[in-house]
Amino acid sequence: MSFKSNAGTIIDRAINELRTGRPLIIQNNREYWMFFNIEHSQSSIFNKFNKYLIDKKYLLVTKQKANSIFNKNIKNNIYFEINHKTDTNNIVNLFINPLSKNKIIKFTKIKKFKSKKFHDVCIDLSKNAKMIPSLVFKKISDIHKQNIHDFAFKNGILLFDYKDLVNQNELISESIKLVSSAKVPLPKNQNSKFKIFKSYIGSDKHVAIIVNPNKIKKKCVNLRIHSACFTGDIFHSLKCDCGEQLNQSISYMVRNNGGIILYLEQEGRGIGLANKMRAYSLQAKGMDTIDADHNIGFHDDERDFRIAARILKLLKIEKVNIITNNKNKINSIKKSGIKVENQINTKPTLNKFNKNYFKTRIKKTGYGLKIAV
Indicate which residues carry an active-site annotation: 301, 303
Please give the C-alpha separations between residue 42 and each of 79, 136, 157, 340, 368, in angstroms, as whole numbers.
Answer: 19, 10, 17, 49, 43
What one-character-per-residue DSSP string does 104-152 give? -S-GGG--EEE--HHHHHHHHHHHHTTS-S-EEEEEEPHHHHTTHHHHH
Contact predicate 227/267, CB 8 Å: yes
Contacts of 187 (CB under 8 A, 6+ apart): none
Helix extents (H) in the chain: 7-19, 43-49, 63-70, 88-96, 117-128, 142-145, 148-155, 168-174, 242-255, 267-270, 273-283, 289-296, 306-314, 327-335, 355-365
